[in-house]
Every structure is written in C-alpha cells, then in structure tokens.
Amino acid sequence: MSSVSEAAPPRKNAFGTFGGVFCPSILTIFGLIMFMRANHVIGNAGVPRSLFILCVSSGITFLTGLSISGISSNTPVRGGGAYFLISRVLGPGFGTAIGVALFVAQALSVPFYILGFTEAFTASFPAFQPFFLAIALGVLAVLFALTWVGAGWVIKLQYVILGLLVGAIAVFLAGAWQSFDLDVFRGNLEPHYQEGESLWTIFAVYFPAVTGIMAGVNMSGDLKDPARSIPVGTLAAVVLGFLVYGIQIVLCGGLATHEQLVAEPYRLLVSNAVLGLGWLVAAGVFCATISSAIGSNLGAPRVLQAVGRDRTLAVLRPFARGTTKGDEPHRALIITFVIGLVTLLAAGRGDGGKGLNLVAAVVTMVFLYTYGMTNLAAFVESLGANPSFRPRFRFFHWSTALVGGIACVLVAFMINAVAAFVALLLIAGLFCTVRNREMSNAYGDARRGFVYSRVSDNLIKLAAMPPHPKNWRPTMLVFSGNPHQRMSLVQYARWLGQQSGIVSLVHLLEGELDIIADDLVGERERLTQFISDHELNVFPEVIAVNDFDRDLSIFLQAYSIGPIKPNVVLLGWPQDPERMGPCVRHIETIQNLGMSVLVHVDHGMLPGPGRKRIDCWWRGERNGSLMVILAHLLMLNHDWERTRLRLLRLVQTEEQSEAARSGLSDILGGARIEAEVDVVVSKKPFADVLKERSSDATLIMLGLGGVQGAGKEFFHRFQDALDGMPSALFVYSSGEADLHA
C-alpha cells in the first residue's frame, strides 16, 4: 500500500469538466430506468403525463443543479462533494449528518446496482442463473480492484462504458423511430393505469431516472477547476438527460400498445433495435448498471474521507487519510467494500432482493434529502447577507433554491411517506449526535444559559480562526449621541451593518462617574428603548468619560469581546465648524488604531420609492474596495431596491480614459458586482465635476485620505463642495475589506 497522509498530497488528480463531472453524472442518469422501466411508465401514464413527470423530475434536479452551481462558484471546493458544500454553509451538525447519510446511501447503492446488473445478465443468459451470487461477488471484487488502483483508471473505463451506452441508446431510439405508428401513438395519449397505480406511484418509479448529479459533484476533490467544472458539467448532464428521455417517451409512445409497453418494457427495445443490434441494447443495460455502481464506488469513499478530515466525529477520523499519490481514500474504500459484501451475501440470492425493499426506499429518500439540504444550504447562503456571497454563476437566485428544497421533501413523501419519515429520523439522529458531542460541556437549565454557553464556545473558536478577507464583516461603532437627533446616521448604520455584521450605538457622556451615574443608567434605558421602538438589531452602549476628545482612543481600544473587535467607526459630519478640529483628530486616532472610518454628511435625503443611484468616486483600490462593498451591503436592503451603482473616476486626458475604464471594468468583473463605469475626462476642479455628475444621485461615496494637520480648511473645502448635494459618505479603509475576496 502507498504511504498515506492526512495533509494535502503532493500530487492529486486533476480531472476536467467532461471526465470528472459530466461523464459520471450522465452515466448515472442513463441508468436502469431508461432500459427497464421507461416503457412501463409510458404504458401506464400515457405520453403527455409521462412528459409531465419528466418535466417535474428534471425541474427538481435542475433547481438543485443551480444551487450546487451557486455555492461551488463562490467558494473554493475540496473533496466531499455535496457534504463539503452543505457543511461549509450550514455548519458541522447538518454537514456531518448529511455526509454520513450520503456515504451510507452511496455505499449501499453499490451492491444494489450490482444486483441489478446480475439480474439483467442472468435474464439474458439463463444458464448462469445458478451462479447469481458468485457473479455479483465477482463484479464487486472487480470494481473494488479498479477503484483501488485509482480514480484515473475508472475515469478511462467510464469513457468506454459511455461509448457503449450511447450506441445502445442510439440503436433502440432508431428502432423506435423506424417502428413508430401514429395510430398507436394516439392510443397511448391517455393513461391506462394498472390496478393500484396512479400518477404519483408512476412518478415514484420514474424519478430515479433523472437523479445522478451527485456522482459528478462527489468528484470535487479530484477536479482541476471545481468552480467551473461543477456548474458546467452538472447542468449539461441534466439538460442532456432531459432531452434524451423526452425523445424516448415520444418515440416509444408510438412503438407498441400500452399493454405491450407494460408487459415487456425491456424486450421491446431489444427486439426493435435496428440492424439486429439487440445485443447492443443488452450491453447498454449492463453498462448502465455497472457505470452507476462505479460512480457510487468512487463517490462514497470520498465523502467519508471528507467527513473524517473535518474531525467532527472521532470514530471517523482514521478515514481521513489518503494515499500520497492521488490522495486516494483507500481506508474508506475498504469500508465501502465491506458494506457491499455484507449486503450481497444477505440479499444476493436471485430472488429480486425483496428483503431490501424498505432499505432501498430509505436510500432513495436520503439522496432526495441530500438534494433538499443542498438547496437549503444555497438558500441560507443567499439570504445570510454575507458580503462575500457573490457567486460567479449568475443564474442562481434564492427563490430557485427554496422551490427546489421544498420540492425534494414533497417528492420524498409522495414516493413513500414511511420511508421518507424513517430517513428524516436517521438524519435527525445523526445531527443530534454531532451537536451533542459539540455541546458536551454546554448543559444548562434555561435558554439563556444554553445560548450563553454557545456564544462563549463560538467566541473561543472564532479567536482561534485566522482572519481572511473573504470573511470580512462590518463590526461597527456608531457614535450616535442622542439617536433621536441623528436618525439619518442611525438609519445608515442599520442598512450597512445590521444584516451582515454587528452594530453598536454608542453614547459617550462627559463627566465624573460618581456625579453622572444616575444619568448613565437613564441614558442607557432610553437608548435601549429607542432600539426596541425602531426594531433595530443593534447593541446599545452608554459610557462615561471625563473628556470625550481625550478618552476616545482608550474606549476604541478597550471595546471588544474576545475576537469581536470593532473594525468600522461611523461618525456624523460636524454641524459646527469649531468641532471640525476635534473631529479630524478623532478620525486620525481611528486611522492610527487600524480601523476603517465612515463620515456621514446628512443632507436630509433618505431613499424613497422609485429608482435610486449610488455614485462611488474611485481614486484608489484601498478605499474603493470598501466603498463598493458598502454599496453592495446597502443594496441588499429593501429600502435600496432598484438601485443603480455607478463607479466614477476623474482623469485629465483622453489617453488616461481608456486605461481607467478598462481597469475599473476588470475590477468589477473580478469582484462579481454589477455596476456602471463612468470615466470623466475634465480639467475642472473636482468640486465642479462632482456637482455636474452626482447632483441627482441618492448617495455619494468619496474616499477619505490622511487628515493629519487638517482643520477648518478641511471642513470648509468639503462643505462647499457638498453644499446643495445629496447625502454623502466619506470612506477611509484600513485595508481589511478586499473586493476580490
């Protein structure tokens, strides 16, 4: 055996979109249903209702594909496929529960597909019926050996299987076209349900035909470019599968009567194959079952390896290790083989596996719940207001994820309510196990004690995590004073930080503590009541200081709880020119402490109904990055719907214009934010250009540089420039916020 390692291996597989995602997905989609049950569905439901079933089934898979594409194009994707995507959004509890369930489902799928292959093989060659179990065990051993050698060999084998499968589909579709009878087709327009059958029981039979997208997603750790390959490969497989199944339904609807379609769904395809190539259709059945088994045999160990590497369950940690070459999950593969061996010994008697019917239904439910949880993860990520959620895949929306998630649960219960409920209980049990292990020291008798313990644990974990620009969120201090007199400032704080960060409204009272202690309590109560009356998700803070200007730096350094330290300070533009000097010193203090500064100039203009516009005047990437991120945060709010974002830059000559426009366009492309670029060529003073271009904006954002030595001149210069203009926000960035994260 190769030496093993839990760390990132020096050499990994680097499969492309076709071999790594599309091929495993389409081979699983073109499975047993196409050859063994599709005609049965057409004969029962009729052509129109069969097409309806196909559209609903493919719609669920397509919506899940959109969710997968959204998450995978927004975050670096490693091994574990759906488990990795879910756990990184919903956390280790949900992630581990789904990860273990998905591993069990895929591990059990291997012997189930092998049983399907063996039954098809012995039906085609009855002389081998006495050797049913031996054939099944032999196939399991061969698949184990191929997968042990490495995923590269399996990918190459799948190309051969795909070729045979395409040939089989081509000959039976051509035969159906050749034998198509319009009168027979008309007779199959209406349903002819057998006793006990209905639209939804037939739907339950057909739905597995369109699943299989996880076969490609589970190869995430072996892809060269997961962010590109997963969306393209997954959606291409879904669309191609929909088209081929649609053609099959139409053509086979005119192939034979509904009685024949129900009685001999598989033999009709063989007997009507063109050029006497019925044997190729049989080979297609074999390929469909074997390829599905290969996909599960590849995916299951990789999911278990990924769960083990996250160290959420101690019993799974040994499976985290992979080989030095290719990072192959050999230990997890052995467990997958053992599960397959036990299952075949228990059920591989050639009797159809009746004892495993309920287990098979539960496995199907787990796959559906995996799809549902993937949609939930995408929904939560989208509505979580995380500034870093800017997926490169542009066709994702939270509503598609919500519809997809609900549809998965509904379909699970329509297929088999008992099995769906059992699967839900199993997943809930796994979730509770992980959560209980995480909270083993978090016992308490009251809700507050429970929440307090979780907050404490999470603060400790957060302190141990290195900061990264991708995880930047505004932790904002707002010096609101009496908030009733500065409602505009409070409103902007709410828009900028309430959904995506933490906001504290701060009122500093000047005076000796022993003298103003009663005032301190009263002001805190009034501030708390103000927050409650206006339904603000912010924290109140009233502090006594001897001298505001002198003690501000001490307060800024001391105000934090562990790793939760303020990184943005929001100030109001002074109304009195005499206060500009102290304000400039405050800005300088905040800058020296490594925090970002926002100075709000209130001209009494809050966004109303109708179209709005934010103008960001770009002078450099440091402040510009924070300006655009803040604009993005504003536009996430309901009050800022239908807002245009403009990125403006002033240059002196036409020669500078093209380079500036190209640079800003490249920046926006990498940032995944929609905005208009406007490069202004003018030698006029900036104040004049500002009035010409931004007088009709809703909000103006301007970069703020160093303010050392500035005073009243600073106040008057910008006061004159902004006189009669919309409200403005001066932005100084500490450099923590990165637009490209």
Of 436, 458, 481, which residue constitutes the final position of a domain? 436
* Least-confidence region, from 374-383, 391-400, 711-720: 711-720
- Contact between residue 378 and residue 403 where contact means Cβ atoms under 8 Å apart: no
Q: Tell me what the mean pLDDT of segment 135-155 comes to.
A: 81
> Which of the four pLDDT bands, split at 50, 70 and 90, describes residue 10?
very low
Residue 706 has pLDDT above 70, yes or no: no
Task: Give per-residue pLDDT as tens, 507-523.
Answer: 888 778 778 887 888 88
DSSP sequence for 286-354: HHHHHHHHHHHHHHHHHHHHHHHHTTSSGGGGGGG-EETEET--HHHHHHHHHHHHHHHHHH-SSS--G
Give pLDDT tens digits for 69-126: 887 777 666 656 667 776 766 666 667 777 887 788 788 888 878 887 887 788 778 8
Contact 439, 453 (CB under 8 A): yes
Is residue 597's pLDDT more than 60? yes
Q: Kind and range of the H or E element at 650?
A: strand 643-651
Q: What is the pLDDT of residues 661-704, one digit of tens each?
A: 888 888 887 777 888 999 999 989 888 899 999 988 999 999 88
Q: Is the pLDDT of residue 539 over 90?
A: no
Give the whole-number percent of the chain exceeding pLDDT 90.
18
Nearest to 457 by CA among 473, 444, 472, 470: 444
pLDDT at 384: 55
Claim to verify: residue 129 and residue 204 sit in the same structural domain: yes
Average pLDDT over residues 261-275: 87
Are 373 and 505 found together in one domain? Answer: no
Could you tell me if residue 669 is inside a domain?
A: yes
Q: What is the mean pLDDT of residues 137-151?
A: 84
What are the residues facing 326 on neighbouring strands? 12
Q: What is the pLDDT of residue 138?
A: 94
| Mean pLDDT across 320-337 | 83
349 and 473 belong to one structural domain: no
Do 480 and 407 have their domain in common?
no
Would 420 be classed as within a structural domain?
yes
In a domain, 460, yes or no: no
pLDDT of residue 50 exceeding 90 = yes
Assigned token pair, 283: 């080979």
Do 341 and 487 fall into the same domain? Answer: no
Give the pLDDT score at 444. 31
Query: How large is the average pLDDT for residues 133-155?
Result: 81
Whole-angstrom Cα distance, residue 564 to residue 500?
A: 14
- Provide mean pLDDT across the span 31-55: 90
Is 363 within the bounds of a domain? Answer: yes
Kindly state whether residues 520 and 624 are assigned to the same domain. Answer: yes
Within-domain flag for 444: no
Residues 392 and 491 both lie in one domain: no
Residue 490: the pLDDT is 86
Name residue 627's beta-bridge partners: none
Range of the domain at 523: 469-732
Number of H helices, E strands in the chain: 29, 14
Res. 442 pLDDT band, cuts 50 70 90: very low
Residue 237 belongs to some domain of the structure: yes
Higher-scoring residue by pLDDT: 301, 37: 301
* Alpha helices, H only, 73-91: 82-90
- Measure the CA dihedral 345/350/355/361, to 10°: 100
Residues 146, 142: Cα–Cα separation, whole Å: 6
Which residue in 679, 634, 317 sits closest to 491, CA to CA? 634
More confident residue, 700 or 554: 700
Lowest mean pLDDT: which of 5-19, 469-483, 596-610?
5-19
- Indicate the residue among 436, 459, 478 that finishes a domain: 436
| Residue 154: predicted pLDDT | 61
Phi and psi at residue 681, in whole multiples of 5°?
-100, 110
Give the three-class secondary structure for 510: strand
**Residue 587 confidence (pLDDT) above 80:** yes
Looking at residue 11, its pLDDT comes to 40
Judge whether 411 lies within some domain: yes
Please indicate, yes or no, whether residues 575 and 616 belong to a single structural domain of this protein: yes
C-alpha closest to that of 558 among 597, 504, 606, 521: 504
Judgement on whether residues 309 and 246 belong to the same structural domain of the protein: yes
Do 159 and 296 fall into the same domain? Answer: yes
Q: Are 356 and 111 in contact (CB under 8 A)?
A: no
* Cβ proximity of 588 and 704 under 8 Å: no
Per-residue tokens: 722: 């902004």
- What is the model's pLDDT at position 510? 79
What confidence category does residue 388 fall into, taking pLDDT thresholds of 50, 70 and 90?
Answer: low
Amino acid 79: pLDDT: 59
What's the CATH number where 408 sits? 1.20.1740.10
Q: Which of 299-303, 458-462, 645-649 has the lowest mean pLDDT?
A: 458-462
The more confident residue out of 271 and 157 is 271
- pLDDT at residue 212 tops 80: no
Q: Pick the more confident residue, 64 or 720.
A: 64
| Whole-number pLDDT of residue 75 | 65
Q: Tokens 């670096």 — which residue? A: 76
Contacts (Cβ under 8 Å, ≥6 apart) of 82: 68, 98, 102, 214, 217, 218, 303, 370, 373, 374
What is the chain's mean pLDDT, rounded? 81
pLDDT digits (tens, 9 = 90+) for 484-510: 778 888 888 888 887 778 888 888 887
Q: With residue 645 as reference, give the H or E element that holds it.
A: strand 643-651
What pLDDT, on the 0 to 100 scale, is given for residue 364?
67
Banded model confidence at residue 54, pLDDT cuts 50, 70, 90: very high
Backbone angles phi, psi at 67, to 5 degrees: -65, -45
pLDDT for residue 6 is more than 60: no
pLDDT band at 374 (very low <50, low <70, confident <90, very high): confident
Share of the chain above pLDDT 70, in %: 86
Domain count, the chain: 2
What is residue 352's predicted lDDT score, i.e. its pLDDT?
44
Using DSSP, state whether 638 is helix, strand or coil.
helix
The Cα 50–Cα 250 span in angstroms is 9
User: What is the 3-state secondary structure of 557-624?
Assistant: HHCCECCECCCEEEEECCCCHHHHHHHHHHHHHHHHCCCEEEEEECCCCCCCCCCEEEEEECCCHHHH
End-of-domain residue from the set 380, 414, 436: 436
User: Are 558 and 606 in the same domain?
Assistant: yes
Cβ proximity of 572 and 543 under 8 Å: no
Beta strands 4-5 and 322-323, pairing class = antiparallel
The amino acid sitting at 16 is G
Q: What pLDDT does residue 574 have?
A: 81
pLDDT at 446 over 60: no
Residue 95 near residue 86, CB atoms below 8 Å: yes
Confidence of residue 5 (pLDDT cuts 50, 70, 90): very low
Q: Which residue has the higher pLDDT, 716 or 145?
A: 145
Verify that 514 and 590 share a domain, yes or no: yes
Residue 739 lies in a domain: no
For residue 152, pLDDT over 70 is answered with no
At 640, which CATH number?
3.40.50.12370
98 or 190, which is more confident = 190
- pLDDT for position 530: 86
